[in-house]
Structure 1
Amino acid sequence: MQNNEEINRLKNLVQDLLDESRKQGATSAEAGLSLDKGLAVTARLGEVETIEYHCDQALGVTVYRGKRKGSSSTNDFSPDSIRETVKAACSIAGFSSEDDYAGLPEQHMLATQFPDLDNNHAWDIEASSAIDIALECEEAARSLHVEISNSEGATVNSHQGISVLGNSLGFLQGGQSTRHSISCSVIGERDGKMQRDYWYSVSRNAQALESASDIGIKAAQRTLQR
């Protein structure tokens, strides 16, 4: 389900960038914004190796002064930062050489229909649950065969992002998407020779991921077959 309230808030920020660009003398402009948050857990040799959380944000603007172009970006969404980011882009445009091919696309080339691609499926998973999945995945790989002698670990990732894009021709759209994955990589040894292989599953929807044990088993099987 799309978080329309948050998307609309971010659309307003992009519109602020475009409005500020006009105020500072741009003849046209385009701006984009993104938010991304996620969790990544890795287990190796039966123990938790890393737990990482991240929450990133960024916005960027490209302004055109005739055929001169300038771009700038920031991760600060405050009004003062927006003004300074646009100011920097306009300053760069002022020193840029003219480019006959610089500018926005023709109005008729802009998208007008935006079908729901079903890309957003949040996974409400705690770090403790992600650890359990990673441990299960690696254990399935390590226990498959005595020739599986070592492991590079199993990792569980979950990410959710929002992106918004707009320009001074009136285009302003945004959406959310998710990406979840489970992966495993193990090492096998036979007759003094070592081989490594892996397997993973990735999906927008965590419910569509292969099971942790199946991923671990496939990683081990692929290693043994090398």
Structure 2
Amino acid sequence: MIATETLRDLTQRLLDAARKAGAPEADAIAVGADAVSIDVRAGRLEQAERANGVDIGLRVLLNGRQACVSSSDTSPATLLEMAERAVAMAREAPLDDTLGLADPSALSARRDADGLELEDTQTSDPTPAELQDRALAAEAAALAQAGITQTEAASASFVRRGVWIAASNGFSGGYRRSSHATTAIAIAGTGTGMERDWASESRAHPGDLPTPEEIGVLAGQRAAERIGARRPPTGPVPILFDERVAATLIGHLLGAINGTAIARGASWLRNADGQPVLPPGISLIEDPLIPRLASSRPFDAEGLACARRALVEDGVLAGWVLDLGTGRKLGLESTANAARGTSAPPHPATSNVILTQGAASRDALIADMGRGLLVTSLLGASINPTTGDYSRGAAGFWVEGGQIAWPVNECTIAGNLREMLMQLTPANDAKPWRVQAVPSLLVQGMTVAGA
């Protein structure tokens, strides 16, 4: 794994090159990663991948114009060429008077991720053989479940990644993170009656990860439960989004309050600031500083300090998700939500979000709904970003008399997101280790199109 000091040095060299090329303002990012992934099938190695390297990106700002360039070549000649090319591109770019780096007085005093425990430093990196053993154990556990006829794949992976961000306003900071993951995909039944399902978990520290056997068992059980799936009846019914997919609803809300969509006027919540968007008593909190989570970060991609804040408080929308550029377009301050890769400028993005949990279990909500649909997987999407009209393919289980009756496939669920979110009831089964800690959500007034 490339040293953090090397990434820091690369960003400084990029800034020096930009200055020599004539850019009055610039920022740079360097990302280094070492990744290993092992896939197995039918008890044998299916695929092994290893990747390591560095990607660098440079953004120059020139009199209200900007340009971004990136490369995986870190030679001195390439850095100079990148800077010259970026300045030439910026001179031809459209004028945007909202562009600019953060004021030095607003920069985060914190320049590392100490205390967030984003990287596992206590154990050695797993070898490919160890990852293969994990994948094989997950597959064997899935195959051992009644009704499972084969697996589509089982995999185990490990990634160690470092990032450093620097800018001509004086900011320079970075951190590293690690990720251990195990996945199993199981197939139940035979012929045209085959059904598939999966289980996957990822953690920064291997000690927090469930065992491969637990993941395989869950994948197998989920697939076996789907044997005999058929279409549900058509009509308006309550729909319970299982914890596995409930976060997608909140993801649509997050997309609608993203500063990019708001600045363009292309959001179904564009006029909803300060208005109810969730039922009373339900809040949506963003907390980028939760230890050990994959989206945690001490500062954003523009060097501003990250902090816990309410996006929705007691059902009322508390504000937008902004970076510097979208904030200036709206006449507002950045909310320290800038994210970026090596080849594009910063854009607004959230980190860890937490939705208020309810008092009832998922089973209690199933009992309360009486007759309806429990959705455990979603396929495709037709979402109108300006009206919130919602339509998605779905699969899951039909509920009759407050109990799961039979598995369901090949159906479509539809509604309007503004109305759906105002009618949801949360369960109490959110997983605190998810970057979107969202429980199962019961939504009234939707329509199912099935048989």
Bin of the TM-score, shorter chain as denominator length: over 0.9
Structure-2 separation of matches of 1:93 and 1:154: 46
Are the equivalent residues in 1 in contact too, given 2:113–2:175 (CA < 8 A)?
no
Q: Classify the secondary structure of the residue corresponding to 2:189.
A: strand
2:47 to 37, 46, 50: 50
The equivalent of 1:85 in structure 2 is 82
Amino acid at match of 2:135: A
Q: What is the TM-score when the length of structure 1 is the normalising length?
A: 0.93
Are the equivalent residues in 1 in contact too, given 2:62–2:90 (CA < 8 A)?
yes
Amino acid at match of 1:222: R
Unaligned 5+ runs, structure 2: 227-451
1:11 to 8, 12, 23: 8
Deviation track 1:7-46 (CA, whole Å, cap 9, x = no partner) reads 1222111111111111111111011010111110011111
Cα 1:111–1:90, aligned 2, differ >3 Å: closer, same or farther?
same
| 1:56 CA drift (Å) | 3.0
Q: Classify the secondary structure of the residue corresponding to 2:222.
A: helix
Structure-2 separation of matches of 1:70 and 1:60: 11
| Higher RCO, Cα 8 Å, sep 6+ | 1
Are the equivalent residues in 1 in contact too, given 2:7–2:32 (CA < 8 A)?
no
Amino acid at match of 2:149: S
Counterpart check, 1:22 vs 2:19: yes
Counterpart check, 1:137 vs 2:138: yes
Amino acid at match of 2:162: I
Computed over aligned residues only, the root mean square deviation of the Cα atoms, in angstroms, reads: 1.7
The equivalent of 2:73 in structure 1 is 76
Structure-2 separation of matches of 1:151 and 1:218: 13
| 1:217 CA drift (Å) | 0.6
The equivalent of 1:211 in structure 2 is 211
| 1:191 CA drift (Å) | 9.6
Q: Where is the strand percentage greater, Structure 1 or Structure 2?
A: 1
Structure-2 separation of matches of 1:191 and 1:97: 57
| 1:194 CA drift (Å) | 1.7
Counterpart check, 1:119 vs 2:140: no
Unaligned 5+ runs, structure 1: none
Structure-2 separation of matches of 1:186 and 1:192: 16
Structure-2 separation of matches of 1:180 and 1:60: 26
Q: Number of matched residues?
A: 222
The equivalent of 1:162 in structure 2 is 162
Counterpart check, 1:97 vs 2:113: no
The equivalent of 1:128 in structure 2 is 129
Structure-2 separation of matches of 1:56 and 1:179: 17
Q: Classify the secondary structure of the residue corresponding to 1:19.
A: helix
Cα 1:224–1:15, aligned 2, differ >3 Å: closer, same or farther?
same
| 1:68 CA drift (Å) | 1.7
Q: Classify the secondary structure of the residue corresponding to 1:177.
A: strand
Q: Classify the secondary structure of the residue corresponding to 1:87.
A: helix
Deviation track 1:154-202 (CA, whole Å, cap 9, x = no partner) reads 1001001110001001100011101110010101117962211111121
The equivalent of 1:36 in structure 2 is 33
The equivalent of 2:150 in structure 1 is 150
The equivalent of 2:393 in structure 1 is none
Structure-1 separation of matches of 2:93 and 2:125: 47
Amino acid at match of 1:103: G
| 1:100 CA drift (Å) | 0.6
Counterpart check, 1:187 vs 2:184: no
Deviation track 1:94-127 (CA, whole Å, cap 9, x = no partner) reads 1122211111122233211245211011552111
Q: What is the TM-score when the length of structure 2 is the normalising length?
A: 0.47
The equivalent of 2:291 in structure 1 is none
